[in-house]
Amino acid sequence: MSSRAPQLALDDRAVEQARDLARRAGTPIVELATAHTTVAVERATLRLAGLGGADLEGTPWVNALVDAVRADVGLGHGVCLPVWDALVRGEAADLDELATKAAVGSVRFGVPTGRAAIDALSAARKQVGTGIEKLDVRRRERERMIATVGDAPSTPWIYLIVASGDIYEDIPQAQAAARAGADVIAVIRSTGQSLLDFVPEGATREGFAGTYATQENFRLMRAALDETSRELGRYVRLTNYASGLCMPEIAAMAGMERLDMMLNDSMYGTLFRDINPVRTFADQRFSRQIHARAGIIINTGEDNYLTTADAVEAAHTVTVSQLLNEFFAREAGLEDWQLGLGHAFEINPDVPDSFRMELAHALLARQLFPDAPLKWMPPTRHMTGDVFRGYLLDGFFNLAGALTGQGILLVGMMTEAVVTPWISDRDLALQNVRYVLNACGNLHEDFAPRPDGFINQRARHVLAESIELLERILGHQGGLLDAIADGTFGLMKRPADGGRGLEGVERRSEHYVNPAIDLLEAGR
C-alpha cells in the first residue's frame, strides 16, 4: 500500500525514536493487563467454550456462571479451574446445565488442586480449544470465499454505515448499500451498549441510534451479506464494535460469526466512556488476541480525539495514539495488515491551508504505518447543517483519502449532524467518492510534496510534537496510566482507581489459568 502514496521526507531516526518511546510507554501497561483478569475476559472464555444463551430475564448464562464462581472463590484463578472441576466432579452434564444450576445456587465451586486441577484444566483446554478451532474454521471460510467470489475491487475500501436499530431493517439497507458500491458495511451499535456489562441475546429490533451487537444479529447480517457477496461477485466485509465493558466477549462472537473488521481501540473506552483503565487494558489485550487469531482487521478510534479537541493543535495526539495502538496490537499478535489505524479530516475549513495540513497529517500516518490499512474518517465537527457546503467538504476529504493511499474510507454524509442518512444521502455520497476516485485515484503518481515545503514541514512538526508528548508521558511517575489520570489525552482525567467496570477487575493469582490465552499465545 505504501507505494500508492507520495513519500514525505521524514527523519528515519525520529520515526524509530517515536516507535521506541511508544513501546516503552506501553510495556508496563501490558504487564498490568497480564497481572489482571476481568469478568468480561472470563465470560469471553466461556463463550469460546460454547456457553451461550440467557435466562428468561435476559441475563446471559455466561454472566450467571461467572458471578456464581466469583461469589464462591473469586476470579483470581480464572473461571476455568472451578468450572471444569465442577463438571469433572459430575455436578452437571455440561456447561449449560452447570450455568442453570449455578444461577439458582445449587452448585458450590472450589479451586481444585493436584490431580483434580490437572483433570479440570485438561477438560477446560479441550472445550475452550473447540472455540479457538471455530475461529480458525471461520477464518479459512473467509479466505475461501474471497478466493471464490472475489475481493473488493480496489482500495480504499468503501465503508458505509447502517443504523436503524432493527436488525431486520438493517439487513435490506446493508444489502442495498453493498449493491450501491460499499465494500464494508458497519452496523452501528445502539447508544449505551458500551456501558452494559453483559451482551444482549438474540435478534433485536429496538435500539437507539443503532442496533445491539448480539451474536444472533452478527449471524443474520453475515449470512445476508454472504448472499449479496455471491450476487455481486465480491466479498462484502462486515464490521461491528469490540468496545465498552464487553470488548472480549464481542470479539469472541465476532470471530465465531466471521465478522471481518472490528472497532477496537486501546484507550477509547477509558477516555471517552470513563471505563476503568485497568479494565480497558486487560479486556483490550484478550480481545485483540482473539481478533488476531480470527483474521479480523481492527479499526482504532483516533478520530475521536479530533472531535473533542482542535484538529490542528491535537494532531500529534492522534499520532501518539496510533503508535500506542500499534504497539498494543502487535503485542497481542495482530499483524500489520490487520491494523486499521484511525484518523480523521476534522480541521476547521476556515483555517488557512487546512487542506494542506490534512494532507500532511494523512501522509504522516501513511508513512509511519506503511503496511497498515489506515481508516480514514470523514468530517463531522464542521458539518454544520449546510448540506451543500458539507458535500464540498466531503469531496475534499475523498480527495485527501485518494491522494494519500488510505486503506478504508468511511463515506461522509452531507447530512452529518442533521439526520441519520437517507437513501439519497448515501447515493449522493457514493457518487462523490466515485467521482473523486475516478477523476484522480492515480494522482499520487504525479504528486510529490517538496522536501522543504509546507506539507513536509507540517508532518515533521507533528512528529516532533508526538515525540515530545511521548516523552512527557514517560516522564510521569506512573507512565501512561498517570498520564491518562491527569488528562494528558483530550483533557479527560481518568484515574486508575476510578471509572466504570472497576468492580469487574481482579488481580490474577499465581495459579491463574486461562486455556484460551494459552492457546492464542501458543499459536503465534
What does the binding site for another protein look like in residue numbers (CB under 8 A)?
Answer: 165, 176, 179-180, 190-192, 194-195, 208-209, 272-274, 307-310, 381, 385, 417, 420, 422-424, 427-428, 491
- Smallest distance from another protein to CB 423, Å: 6
Contact 84, 123 (CB under 8 A): yes
Q: How far apart are CA 318 and CA 293, in angstroms?
A: 27
Grid coordinates representing 490?
Answer: 483530550
Least distance to another protein from the beta carbon of 3, Å?
36
Rounded-to-integer distance, Cα 17 and Cα 368, Å:
12
Residue ranges of E strands in 142-299:
157-162, 184-187, 237-241, 261-263, 297-299
- Answer yes or no: 303 catalytic: yes
SS3 129: helix
Least spacing, CB of residue 11 vs another protein, in Å:
32
CB nearer another protein, residue 19 or residue 273: 273
Length of the chain measured in residues: 524
Least separation, in Å, of the C-beta of 418 and another protein? 8
CB of 420 to another protein, least distance (A): 8
Closest residue by Cα to residue 251 from 301, 222, 213: 213
With cell 456501558, the residue in question is: 195
In the complex, minimum distance from the CB of residue 373 to another protein, in angstroms, rounded to a whole number = 27
Query: Is 101 among the catalytic positions?
Result: no
Q: State the minimum distance, in angstroms, from the CB of residue 424 to another protein.
A: 4
Task: Tell me whether residue 427 or residue 471 sits nearer to another protein (CB atom).
Answer: 427
**Pick 311 or 480: Cβ nearer another protein:** 311
From CA 446, how far away is CA 356, in angstroms rounded?
16
Q: How far is the CB of 478 from another protein (least distance, A)?
A: 23
The three cell numbers of residue 496 are 486508575
End-to-end CA distance of the chain: 25
Which residue bears the cell 506501553? 26
Query: What nine digits make up the cell of 462?
Result: 507533528
Nearer to another protein, 116 or 176 (CB): 176
Question: Which of 183, 235, 283, 375 is the catalytic position?
Answer: 375
If residue 36 lies in a helix (H) or strand (E), which one and from where to where?
strand 36-38
Contact of 355 with 276, CB cutoff 8 Å: no
Distance CA(112)–CA(170), nearest Å, equals 47
Q: Could you give the CA distance from residue 323 to residue 345 in angstroms, rounded to a whole number?
A: 19
For another protein, which is the closer residue by CB, 385 or 453?
385
From residue 47, give the alpha-carbon distance in Å to each of 121, 291, 474, 503: 17, 15, 37, 21
375: annotated active-site residue: yes
Nearer Cβ to another protein, position 49 or 174?
A: 174
Q: Quick check: 402 and 434 in contact, CB under 8 A? A: no
- Nearer Cβ to another protein, position 17 or 307? 307
Contacts of 516-520 with C-beta under 8 Å, sequence gap 24+, read: 516/44, 516/45, 516/48, 516/128, 516/131, 516/132, 516/286, 516/290, 517/286, 517/289, 518/125, 519/125, 519/128, 519/129, 519/132, 520/132, 520/289, 520/290, 520/292, 520/293, 520/333
Nearest to 514 by CA among 26, 40, 30: 40
Going by C-alpha positions, the residue among 392, 299, 316 that lies closest to residue 357 is 316
Q: Which is nearer to another protein, 116 or 428 (CB)?
A: 428
| Minimum distance of another protein from residue 177's CB (angstroms) | 10
Catalytic residue selected from 85, 170, 260, 303: 303
Question: Considering beta carbons, is residue 159 or 272 the nearer one to another protein?
Answer: 272
Active-site residue list? 268, 303, 375
